[in-house]
Amino acid sequence: MSISRTLNSFLDRERVHYDVLPHPEAFRAAEIAHTLHTPQKEIAKVVIVKVENRFVMTVLPASWNVDLRRLRTVFATNQVRLATEDEITSLFPDCELGAMPPFGNLYGLPVFVDHSLTEDEEIVFQAGTHSDAIRMRYWDFASLAFPVVEEFHRSPSEAW
């Protein structure tokens, strides 16, 4: 399988430089980092959350987790939870489950990027499949996805 049709059409239409990085099938961002010999902090993982009645795409380095408490503060509501697999499947019809690219704007979702990702010159992310990734400049991504930058990461070692 190649990268998502929606993503491929969008990036080609926008004439932005990107590299497709085929890799052995991997289901976790840490695995992708390992197979591509890329630091985990440069792998952008997507986590979909439901905020009240709408879905929001969050994007953060693979080495971090989403802190729902911080997101509740960002969105000024207690109604923030992780989206279910069934919900995610219907949001990204041309992507394999869990392999959606960080362009929520292509799927009608607002994009929130953790501040820590803005420090990297390049990011790598899944391209709609579990065997293809894309590498591109962070600022090219930002100019196309129009993300809101906030701080909502939590170290995997931090307790809830």
Instruction: Write out pLDDT tens, residues 4-57.
Output: 888 989 999 999 999 999 898 888 887 888 888 888 888 999 999 999 999 999
Residue in the structure block whose two tokens are 């820590």 = 116
The number of domains in the chain is 1
| Owning domain of residue 123 | 5-148
CATH code, domain with 111: 3.90.960.10
Whether residue 61 contacts residue 114, with contact meaning beta carbons closer than 8 Å, is answered with: yes
pTM flag (> 0.75): yes
51 strand-pairing partners? 54, 80
Residue 103 domain-assigned (yes or no) = yes
Residue 53 domain-assigned (yes or no) = yes
> What are the pLDDT digits (tens) for 101-125?
999 999 999 999 999 999 889 999 9
